[in-house]
Structure 1
Amino acid sequence: MTFRDQIEQHIDHFAEMPPLCQRLLGYLEDPDVDFKVIRDTIQYDPGLTANVLKLANSVYFGAVQEVASLQAALVRLGTRRIFELVLSLNVSGRLVPALPGYGLEANELLRHSIWTAVAAQELAGLLGMKDVDTVFTAGLLHDIGLLLLDPFIAEQHERFGQVMDEQSMAFDQAEKEVLGMDHAEAGARILERWNLGAAMAAAVRWHHAPDAAEENHSLVYLVHLGDMLALSEGVGTGIYGLQFSVSPESVRALGLKKHHLEYTASKTLDKMRELENILT
């Protein structure tokens, strides 16, 4: 069995969406769903209810007046944001363990993922884009494929070093060469199984090669730039993170300048602590 075949089997197991997320996603696809149905689905999970209220009352989302009920929190946040919060909370726990194959310590992938998500969302807001919650979720999930590939990376560590040295390959190219699949493709496959939409899957699939994306360019570019900003701040670089570089086309296409990126990095640092408290 090839490495790719083994990874495919891992995807089948990993891509089982938590039942609560499955129910909420089904409600989101129903335009006539009542807020009370969503409230009743969430309210029997005390931890989730507490986090929804914490998010609704956070400075991160511009809360001015405190809300004390789940119903009021749902109205303030909206159904899509609630779903993405639930998904984020479920996924964030998986991002905590150390990934020795990539040289990432415990919590390092989670911190990098949150940093990327916040930076991408900040850029989207700066550009006046809509649906910034989707940008956040795509950023949070962009490196989920690392979880699948890490055992193979650790096992084939010497082979990776040899391929990269002899063929002057970047790490994601070496993943493809040695394993038959890179972490971006593996992550996109998970999101496709979760039915999170083509745009979000594309953002994960092309976050290291945004110019290769055939569509959904804005979301792809935003996640790519969020990832690059996180790495430039030394967040989640691991062994190989600094090998990647910013796509000039992503900056040009979004109409960004250097000062926009510097401003976003500063704003992201300000917001990191609060989001880490909610998602960890």
Structure 2
Amino acid sequence: MRTEAIAAVAVASSPQARRRRFSPYILTVAFAPLIYAIWWLATSTRFVSPILLPAPQAVWNSFPRVVFADGFGEQVLRTLSEIVGGFLLGATIGFALGMLLSSSSRLRAAYLPALSALEAIPTVILAPIIIAWVGFGVEGKIMQAALACFYAVFITTLSGLGLAEPNAVNLMRSLGASKWQTMTKLRIPTALPVIFGGLQLGATTAIIGAIVSEFIGSTGGLGYLMIRYRGSFDTAAYWVIIFFFLAIGLATYLLIWYIEKKVVFWRRTDITRPDLEKQ
């Protein structure tokens, strides 16, 4: 019994066990004070002009004024609806086109170069055209966000669907499986980790697309508030909105990560247990 207890203590105190108990959140918590110290030092010494970067205390004091302003909740909901609507639209089209082109080498050879060339056009250039077509409402912002996130989901879906082992594909064919059965039972499950990577990237670009479209022309939304605060040189309030965007990006990442954890359960990814990815 004593020997077993000593062995258990030795295993628990081994470097590998300590690494498994180590949470990456510790690094996040340790890094935050460093960022705050650099920020405070840069502003207190006037190394950076307060017009560009206000003091941390000034931003903190501006939070209640910005958050509790009349209509702020409606502005947040408008921006969120643009981001979510654009992401769902762009991701759906990107996934569908990825599946379509992966099913035919002729379609892939015919349309992939054209789609790649269209992606080279900055979405900010298309924003004025989209506004001219559909106006300054939410619809144009959703379209802009969809265009921004479409290609990331499309190209990762197309690439991921080609990762299935040729021997596994041949086995499915020898068993009499149809193309649709091979797609749903083999190719899509194999491609899911890659597709979720595209969804993470697409969500980020959807946020950027929606905000850029609000910068160019809008009557509401967080981007509209940023333009208004910048015009009045209210830099502290401007940075409050920036932190809201950071919160939206973090919430989006965690939501997609959680869905991936439930859907791609065999992968056993866990942001709090990086050692699981090596198993």
Considering the TM-score relative to the shorter chain, is it more than 0.5? no
TM-score, reference length from structure 2: 0.29
TM-score when normalising by structure 1: 0.29
Larger Rg: 2
